[in-house]
């Protein structure tokens, strides 16, 4: 199977997966919800273990955003089961989201999760998928670097705000250095609108206007 790069705007492929919570059809099982689909290099590894604990600590924060979590690695399901049991018994953290057993590697190859120069393990990939099954954001981390789950949570929240209010989201939102927790009005496409924007909103210029959202 060709190892192609997944792109923002692609539809998440319709696949049936084996998980620690049984067989699931994706993205159908989460139709109408956002979900974060992420891969980790291997079970029973230190960085991956810290990531799973970190994801679980924020599990209900994702749920409040109507967003589910799904993990994946090229391990068999019994390895996943034993690992999440170990995490519960030794780290007092119960993993409440499913973990996909991609023991053939086909799903990872399809989504471009395997780095050609890094053997057969998956990289630390993250796909943020919207309720329509469209991939809205993609992150790739090297095997040696754990992810920032607060940033992934921020991205889901920011994408939802952008969709709801039809606005742009500034850097480091909601703590932007210029406009704090405000959002950016899309640039005007004609002279009249550009002039109106300067009167209607706070602006640095006609192409950089911002507003508060409720």
Question: Could you give the domains of the chain?
Answer: 15-147 (3.40.30.10), 166-214 (3.30.1020.10)
Per-residue model confidence (pLDDT) at position 114? 87
**Of 76, 20, 23, 72, nearest in space to 51 by CA:** 72
pLDDT reported for residue 146: 96
> Which pair of structure tokens corresponds to residue 34?
């956002």
pLDDT at 24: 97
Specify the pTM: 0.94
pLDDT tens for each residue of the chain, 214 residues long: 455 678 999 999 999 999 999 999 999 999 999 999 999 999 999 999 999 999 999 999 999 999 999 999 999 999 999 999 999 999 999 999 999 999 999 999 999 998 777 667 888 999 999 999 999 999 999 889 999 999 999 999 999 999 999 999 999 999 999 999 999 999 899 999 999 999 999 999 999 999 999 7
| 209 given a catalytic annotation | no
């Amino acid at each position: 199977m060709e190892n192609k790069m997944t792109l923002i705007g692609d539809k998440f492929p319709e696949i049936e997966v084996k998980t620690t919570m049984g067989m699931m059809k994706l993205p159908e099982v989460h139709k109408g919800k956002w979900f974060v689909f992420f891969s980790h290099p291997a079970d029973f590894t230190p960085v991956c273990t810290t990531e799973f604990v970190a994801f679980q600590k924020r599990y209900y924060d994702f749920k409040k955003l109507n967003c589910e979590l799904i993990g994946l690695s090229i391990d068999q399901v019994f390895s996943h089961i034993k690992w999440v049991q170990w995490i519960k018994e030794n780290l007092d953290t119960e993993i409440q989201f499913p973990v996909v057993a991609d023991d053939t590697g086909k799903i990872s190859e399809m989504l471009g999760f395997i780095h050609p120069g890094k053997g057969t393990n998956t990289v630390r990939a993250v796909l943020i998928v919207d309720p329509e099954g469209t991939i809205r954001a993609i992150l790739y981390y090297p095997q040696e670097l754990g992810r920032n789950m607060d940033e992934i949570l921020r991205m889901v929240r920011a994408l939802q705000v952008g969709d709801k209010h039809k606005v742009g989201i500034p850097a480091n939102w909601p703590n932007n250095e210029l406009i704090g927790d405000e959002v950016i009005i899309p640039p005007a496409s004609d002279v009249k609108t550009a002039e109106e924007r300067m009167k209607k909103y706070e602006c640095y210029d006609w192409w950089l206007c911002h507003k508060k959202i409720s």
